Amino acid sequence: MVQEIRNFINNEYVDGVSTFDDINPVDGSLIGNVHTADAAVVDKAVKAARTALEGPWGRMSTPERVNLLRKIADRIDERFEDLLQAEIADTGKPEGLARAVDVARASANFRSFADTVASAGLDSYLTEPANGDNALMYAVRKPLGVVGVIVPWNLPLLLLTWKVAPALATGNTVVVKPSEETPASATLLGEIMAEAGLPEGVYNVVHGYGDTGAHITSHPDVDGITFTGESKTGSIIMKTVSDRVLPVSFELGGKNAALVFDDCNVEEAVAGLTRSLYTNSGQVCMCTERVYIQRGIFDEVVDGLIESAKKLKLGAPFAEGTDFGPLISAKHREKVQSFCDLAEKNGAETLLGGGVPDMGAELNGGSWFEPTLWKGLAHEDEVMRKEVFGPVAGLIPFDTEEEAIHLANDTEYGLCASIWTQNLERAHRVAPKMNVGLSWVNTWYLRDLRAPFGGSGLSGIGREGGQHSFDFYTEPVNVAIKLG
pLDDT digits (tens, 9 = 90+) for 162-205: 999 999 999 999 999 999 999 999 999 999 999 999 999 999 99
pLDDT score recorded for residue 443 = 98
| 215 and 324 assigned to the same domain | no
Pairing of strands 413-414, 456-457: antiparallel
CA angle 387, 439, 169 (to 5 degrees): 90
User: Do 89 and 230 fall within a single domain?
Assistant: yes
Alpha-carbon distance of 373 to 69, in angstroms, equals 43
Q: At a CB cut-off of 8 Å and minimum separation 6, what does 210 contact?
A: 233
In the three-class reduction of DSSP (H, G, I as helix; E, B as strand; rest coil), residue 48 is classed as helix
Rounded Cα distance, 140 and 163, in Å: 21
Residues 13 and 26 in one domain: yes
Question: Do 259 and 292 meet the contact criterion of CB atoms below 8 Å apart?
Answer: yes
CA 379, 381, 385, 391 torsion: positive or negative?
A: negative
Over pLDDT 90: what percentage of the chain? 98
Print the SS3 string covering 336-377. HHHHHHHHHHCCCEEEECCCCCCCCCCCCCCCCCCCEEEECC
In this predicted structure, what is the pLDDT of residue 392?
A: 98
What would the pLDDT profile of 323-371 be if each residue is shown by its tens digit? 999 999 999 999 999 999 999 999 999 999 999 999 999 999 999 999 9
In a domain, 387, yes or no: yes
Query: Is there a domain that residue 449 lies in?
Result: no
Q: Does 450 reside within a domain? A: no
The answer to the question of residue 452 being in a domain is no
What CATH number does residue 261 fall under? Answer: 3.40.309.10
* Nearest partner of 87 among 26, 11, 37, 19, judged by Cα: 26
Q: What is the mean pLDDT of residues 17-31?
A: 97
State the total domains in the chain.
Answer: 2
Q: Given pLDDT bands bounded at 50, 70 and 90, which one contains residue 225?
A: very high
Shared domain check, 287 and 232 = no
Whether the predicted pLDDT of 484 surpasses 80: no
Residue 96: per-residue pLDDT: 97
Does residue 71 belong to any structural domain of this protein?
Answer: yes
Residue 78: name the closest of 162, 186, 192 by CA: 192
Claim to verify: residue 269 and residue 207 sit in the same structural domain: no
Considering the domain architecture, whether residues 203 and 267 belong to the same structural domain is answered as no
To which H or E segment does residue 8 belong? strand 7-9
- The whole-number pLDDT of residue 109 equals 98
Same domain, 224 and 206: yes
CATH of the domain at 233: 3.40.605.10
Annotated catalytic residues are 251
**The length of the chain, given as a count of residues:** 484
Q: Write out the DSSP string of 90-140.
A: HH---HHHIIIIIIHHHHHHHHHHHHHHHT----EEEE--TTS--EEEEEE
Q: Is residue 454 part of a domain?
A: no
Residue 346 lies in a domain: yes
Q: Which domain holds residue 158?
A: 3-252+459-482
User: Are 483 and 136 spatial neighbours (Cβ–Cβ below 8 Å)?
Assistant: yes
Considering the domain architecture, whether residues 467 and 366 belong to the same structural domain is answered as: no
Q: Give a yes or no: residue 451 inside a domain.
A: no
Tell me, yes or no, whether 218 and 348 share the same domain.
no
Q: Is the pLDDT of residue 1 over 90?
A: no
The total of other beta-carbon atoms located within 10 Å of residue 119's CB is 9
Residues 110 and 140 placed together within one structural domain of the fold: yes
What digits encode the pLDDT tens for the residues 285-315? 999 999 999 999 999 999 999 999 999 999 9
Pairing of strands 474-482, 135-143: antiparallel
Are residue 401 and residue 300 in the same domain, yes or no? yes
* Averaged pLDDT, 427-454: 97
Residue 417 shares a structural domain with residue 470: no
pLDDT tens digits for 94-139? 999 999 999 999 999 999 999 999 999 889 999 999 888 899 999 9
Across the chain, what does the average pLDDT equal? Answer: 97
pLDDT of residue 132: 86
